[in-house]
Structure 1
Amino acid sequence: MERLRTKEAAEAALRELPSVLGASVREDIRGHPREVHVLIRAGPDVRRLARDVRDLLEERLGIPIDQRVISIAQLSESYEAAPVKEMVFEPPAVPDAPAAAPAPARPAKPAAEEEQTAEPRLIYSGLESVTRAARCTIRVQLEYDGREFQGEAAEMDAGQGRVRAAAAAALRAATAACLDSIRLELEQASVVKAHDRDYVLVSALAISPLLGRRPVPLVGAQPLETGDLELTAALAALKAGNRVLGLGLRAPRPQPARRRDVRA
């Protein structure tokens, strides 16, 4: 079977869309798109744009496109201050209700209570990379509640392999920190260029009874500012998980068994 290359044609077509700042496409063995990463400016509706992307690619390439292979990350309105915000495919927002009268001021909460109600956060503590026999193995360490959690992933040391390995390792470390109450699975990871800057885009799935029966799609992006591709990919993956990690970290955690003295 003749291999039809569509990567260059697909990326060129996507960049024609006014809201698209950058695009990256990965091909399957037949040369058809199997991953489509798009970075867009603030404003457009993500769900509608995903359909537009699918329709455009099907028209230009003449082949069917599964919309599930399309991941979209959207720049915040002030990308200089907050370069990228996480975007997921959500239902349209309900129209704003009429403004209500301001509520009376509440007394400040004690510091201890503020700490209890604050959103739990993971702390990035390190990354280790080993390359052997053309394969790279990456380990990511995270901290939470005084404990350290590690995730590991391996990929071929070629193309976007290091990006995918670092993103997968970060998601596995985050899953471990949630004690498997939420499982985060990597779907796609890629580097795209926008505004003369490189970004790492990561799309993932969150799977948990806490989130319902269906996997929740997540997308995160991180600007490649330090030149450290693996670190940037890990941070992009954690950004993707931000929407659900708080729920997983707040889930009941098993208490250590109490020691019992047995006397004869």
Structure 2
Amino acid sequence: MQSAREAEAIIRMIPDVEAVRVDLDDGTPREVHILAAAGRHPMQIVRDVESALAAKIGKRIDRRAISIAQLRGAREQAFRLALRAVQTRLSCDTAEFQVELALDGAEFVGRASGPASRANKLKLAVEATLDAVVRSLGNRVQLYAEGVVLTTIGDMDAVVTTVVLREGGREQVLTGGAFVWRDEAESAARAALAAVNRRYELLRRSLLGAV
């Protein structure tokens, strides 16, 4: 592994990781310090970190070298959208996606459909996710999937997406990524959430007056 920054970039792709610092010893991670959201059990995050780094450097690091600090405040949880389900329906050459998000006990469903090519299915998963996000904000903002790519980071597949946010006459480009752990479409949805969630609290406060 060439640098700690490279290792940190890989770990940031793991769901619920907010911040990370990696200390290297002769190119091998010696200590990994992670600040994570409270969405998953710390051991799940540790296992994901082990797998991600093992794929990159070819060997597993001692899990005792990985420390997790979680954000547990109600405020942090209240303004973080969580992915509940990604459903796909294929009909001839058309794919239909339905994505379910949850926020503080409420559920929001987004949908998108289009040609069923592999690349387009990833974009549809992102679009369905963004549709659900827009619904959670009372349809008062516009979110567009500008680009979605399946790439390789280290030896692991990852989905990276670019999202355009339009609100109040302003436009902003957001980016997010997620490793492919089980399903490419689910990872595309997680990449979209990674792009949006960092701005979500500010959006909700400005659009809906939520505190």
- Place the TM-score, normalised by the shorter chain, in its bin: 0.5 to 0.7
Q: CA deviation at 1:146?
A: 2.2
Structure of higher CA gyration radius: 1
Do the aligned partners of 1:206 and 1:244 also contact (CA within 8 Å) in 2? no
The CA distance in 2 between the partners of 1:206 and 1:241, in whole Å, is 9
- Structure 1 SS opposite 2:8: coil
Q: Aligned equivalents of 2:179 and 2:13: distance in 1?
A: 7
Corresponding residue number in structure 2 for 1:34:
none
| Cα shift at 1:173 | 0.5
Instruction: Tell me: CA distance 1:245–1:182, structure 2 relative to 1, closer, same or farther (3 Å).
Output: farther
CA deviations 1:135-181 (Å, max 9, x no partner) are 10001011123221111111211130110110110011111111123
Q: Which residue of 1 aligns with 2:205?
A: 250
CA distance in 2, matches of 1:246, 1:42: 30
Report the residue type matching 1:157 in the other structure: A
- Report the alpha carbon displacement of residue 236 of structure 1 after superposing the two structures with TM: 0.4
**Cα displacement (A) at 1:224:** 0.8
Report whether the alignment pairs 1:217 with 2:147.
Answer: no
Tell whether 2:195 aligns with 1:240. Answer: yes
CA distance in 2, matches of 1:83, 1:177: 24
Partner secondary structure for residue 149 of structure 1: strand
Which consecutive residues of structure 2, in runs of 5 or more, have no partner in the other structure? 19-72
Aligned-residue offset at 1:116: 4.5
Shift of 1:190: 1.4
1:150 aligns with 2:105: no
Gaps of 5+ in 1: 1-18, 20-40, 44-74, 87-113, 255-264
Deviation at 1:193, TM superposition (A): 1.3
1:180 alignment counterpart:
139
TM-score w.r.t. length of structure 1: 0.51
CA contact (8 A) 1:139 1:151 kept: yes
Structure 1 residue 185, shift from structure 2 partner: 1.1
Provide the TM-score with structure 2 as the length reference. 0.63
1:194 to 123, 138, 153: 153
Query: SS at the partner of 2:12?
Result: coil
Which is strand-richer, 1 or 2? 2
Q: Secondary structure of 1:215's match?
A: strand
Residue from 106, 111, 129 that aligns with 1:170: 129
CA distance 1:201–1:208, change in 2 (3 Å): same
Deviations 1:106-140 (CA, angstroms, capped at 9, x unpaired): xxxxxxxx534766111211111111121100010
Structure 1 segments (4+ residues) deviating >6 Å: none
> Contact 1:223–1:232 (CA<8 Å) still a contact in 2?
yes
Does the Cα contact within 8 Å between 2:78 and 2:104 map onto a contact in 1?
no
From 88, 95, 100, the equivalent of 1:141 is 100
Deviation per CA, 1:7-49, whole angstroms, max 9, x where unpaired? xxxxxxxxxxxx9xxxxxxxxxxxxxxxxxxxxx986xxxxxx
1:96 matched residue in structure 2: none
RMSD across aligned positions (CA) = 2.8
Q: State the SS of the aligned residue for 1:165.
A: helix
